[in-house]
Amino acid sequence: MSNAPRLIDPFARAITYLRVSVTDRCDFRCVYCMAEHMTFLPKKELLTLEELDRMCSTFIGLGVEKLRITGGEPLVRRGIMTFFDAMSRHLDSGALKELTVTTNGSQLDRFASDLYAAGVRRINVSLDTLDAAKFQRVTRWGRLEQVLSGIDAARNAGLRVKINTVALKGFNEDELFALTEWCAREDMDLTFIEVMPMGDLGNEDRVGQYWSLDDLRADLATRYTLTDLAERTGGPARYVRLNETGQKIGFITPLTHNFCESCNRVRMTCTGDLFMCLGQEDNASLRDIMRAHPEDDAPLIRAIEAAIARKPEGHDFDYSRQKPDGQVSRHMSHTGG
């Protein structure tokens, strides 16, 4: 299969990056991602590991060069290393340039070495606080010690670790410099993310949680000299370098600064629904098409191409009117983080 880009959206953007949720399940219940008492999907609705292989291989044949595996928590999916091992053949062929993972870190003690062996070289670990009590509060079920141990295991296995921190007003504002200095000491990159209006989480106050990264950046600038970088890693982050430490800090700003003009990515859920935009409800159901044609990828390819032809110019997230406008009903754990 040729990996020349074949997926071009209506705004002339080549789609070369696929984020795939392999499960909606997670061993945490982070307050901005899941309700505490979730109802998870029945197993029959999820793509099997073999179907995930076929689906991702089809996208790679259409020019996708970067594959990020997400969840839920991807490493709680039973047998998931079978899938990673299968994807390594596309790295070996050169069709796939990068295979990466976003994880909460809880399972890295078990899987870090196996991920490296499968060709993963870089992972993102979601971590919003270095305070154990606050960590348990924001994750509901998580243990900070387990995650820090997993990060150590990942680095010892040779994986480059980037920390993803959701900026939450009134929660981790006071840890801005502690998180920054910790990542500098440990030689890990750090990206801050604005909280997004995803899912109906009951009493969670999206507007109250929102901490503009413009404000966060201004706070950083009181202690460090920030130099803007032209560097991009295929995702939505914009980067700066802190001159005093030499470290790289990323900002993902779906609300403060819409990053849609350069969007090169789509997301596929664990049920085979393709979302062309994180902040829009339009999607294409690919699972049933694939299952209806077990020996023929042509109908699946046509469905993918038709979906990309509907990719919107951008999302509509907006907190400026003190309510989470543009909110989508599905949980982040279903779409894939």
Residue 19 pLDDT exceeds 90: yes
More confident residue, 237 or 139: 139
Residue 275 pLDDT exceeds 70: yes
- What's residue 318's pLDDT? 47
The CA dihedral of 277, 167, 333, 37, to the nearest 10 degrees, is -140
User: What type of residue sits at position 283?
Assistant: N
Percent of the chain past pLDDT 90, that is, above it, reads 74
Lowest mean pLDDT among 140-144, 166-170, 263-267, 332-336: 332-336
pLDDT classification of 34: cutoffs 50, 70, 90: confident
* Mean pLDDT rounded to a whole number for the chain: 89
Question: Of 176-180, 281-285, 309-313, which one has max mean pLDDT?
Answer: 176-180
**Who's near 317: CB < 8 A, 6+ residues apart?**
196, 197, 254, 255, 258, 279, 324, 325, 326
Residues comprising the binding site for GTP? 19, 68, 102, 162, 265-267
pLDDT classification of 36: cutoffs 50, 70, 90: confident
pLDDT classification of 2: cutoffs 50, 70, 90: low
Q: What is the 3-state secondary structure (H, E, C) of 127-176?
A: CCCCCHHHHHHHHCCCCHHHHHHHHHHHHHHCCEEEEEEEEECCCCHHHH
Percent of the chain past pLDDT 70, that is, above it, reads 85
Closest CA to 62 of 95, 22, 26, 29: 95
Please report, for the chain, the start and end positions of each structural domain, with discontinuous segments joined by +: 17-335
85-92: long-range contacts, CB 8 A cutoff, minimum separation 24: 85/118, 86/49, 86/53, 87/53, 87/56, 87/118, 87/119, 88/118, 88/119, 90/57, 90/60, 91/119, 92/119
Strand partners of residue 18: 67, 266
pLDDT classification of 257: cutoffs 50, 70, 90: low
Residue 231 pLDDT exceeds 70: yes
Q: Which two tokens stand for residue 14?
A: 């080549």
Q: Which two tokens stand for residue 203?
A: 């009493």
Strand partners of residue 267: 19, 275
For 184-204, letters b (16+ CB in 10 Å) and e give beeebbbbbbbbbbbbebeee
Residues comprising the binding site for [4Fe-4S] cluster? 26, 30, 33, 260, 263, 277
DSSP character at residue 179? H
The answer for 196, left when phi > 0, alpha when psi is -120 to 50, beta otherwise, is beta
More confident residue, 322 or 64: 64
Look up the pTM and report it: 0.88
Determine the number of helices (DSSP H) and then strands (DSSP E) in the chain.
11, 12
CATH number of 17-335: 3.20.20.70
Give the model confidence (pLDDT) of 154-213 as tens digits. Answer: 999 999 999 999 999 999 999 999 999 999 999 999 999 998 664 444 445 555 678 999
- What's residue 14's pLDDT? 95
Give the model confidence (pLDDT) of 96-132 as tens digits. Answer: 999 999 999 999 999 999 999 999 999 999 999 999 9
Residues comprising the binding site for S-adenosyl-L-methionine? 32, 72, 126, 196
**Who's near 231: CB < 8 A, 6+ residues apart?**
239, 248
Give the model confidence (pLDDT) of 39-89 as tens digits. Answer: 889 999 999 999 999 999 999 999 999 999 999 999 999 999 999 999 999
Residues comprising the binding site? 19, 26, 30, 32-33, 68, 72, 102, 126, 162, 196, 260, 263, 265-267, 277
